[in-house]
Amino acid sequence: DGGITQSPKYLFRKEGQNVTLSCEQNLNHDAMYWYRQDPGQGLRLIYYSQIVNDFQKGDIAEGYSVSREKKESFPLTVTSAQKNPTAFYLCASSTSGSGDTQYFGPGTRLTVL
Amino acid sequence: QKEVEQNSGPLSVPEGAIASLNCTYSDRGSQSFFWYRQYSGKSPELIMFIYSNGDKEDGRFTAQLNKASQYVSLLIRDSQPSDSATYLCAVIQYSGTYKYIFGTGTRLKVLA
């Protein structure tokens, strides 16, 4: 059953903590993306990766970090430097980074306590 | 000016009617256009994409693209209450790298 999985579905973070959001895909896609969605707003790109061991900053990368050690996995770490991390985080993937259709995982809702 | 603009709505239509959702974009060089549906609390799911001027039909959905006027629209025929969701327009721009730009979405309410 091919698709994109994200875990956990809900995550609670205390002030000053780093947390890592998981994203895995078995679609054999080269490109993967992380977006943040706030209520009533569009999707904003945090980081993207077009190939293993390479990634680029998106529009709002400050306070976040990623790694791409395997084709299937693209974890996102929300660091304590991110001052307003409460949001819905969406991972997506596409066949390549050349304008192909993006498909989304189910999302992780992060709340800062 | 926002790069991709959508009316936030809500757009209310009666069941069985045609719902018309519109999206305008600022970059004339935009190449590909996508419509996603997002139910409350869920992730976006692809409805359809369109690359060329004109209409593209898929079941009850029709995407319309007019590059000269820089707008793309989505028509939903025979609207059902289950179509009630937020519809996101996405546009691909190319300036050295390909970049997806999403609109903020239009909330559609289909009234039974």
pLDDT for residue B98 is more than 90: no
Which among B103, B88, B76 is positioned nearest to B20, based on CA atoms?
Answer: B76
What pLDDT is stored for residue B1 in this prediction?
62
For A65-105, write each residue's pLDDT tens digit.
999 999 999 999 999 888 899 999 999 999 987 778 999 99
Closest CB to B46 among A43, A103, A105:
A103
For B1-36, write each residue's pLDDT tens digit.
679 999 999 999 999 999 999 999 999 988 899 999
What pLDDT is stored for residue B77 in this prediction?
98
A42 part of contact set with chain B, CB < 8 Å: yes
Would you state the structure tokens that stand for residue B17, as one six-digit string? 């009617």
Residue B102 backbone phi and psi in degrees, to 5: -105, 145
Which among A37, A40, A39, A59 is positioned nearest to A48, based on CA atoms?
Answer: A59
Contact A102 B100 (CB under 8 A): yes
Chain B CB contacts of A56 under 8 Å are 97
Q: Show the DSSP H helices in chain A as ranges.
A: none
Dist. CA B100–CA A44, nearest whole Å: 10
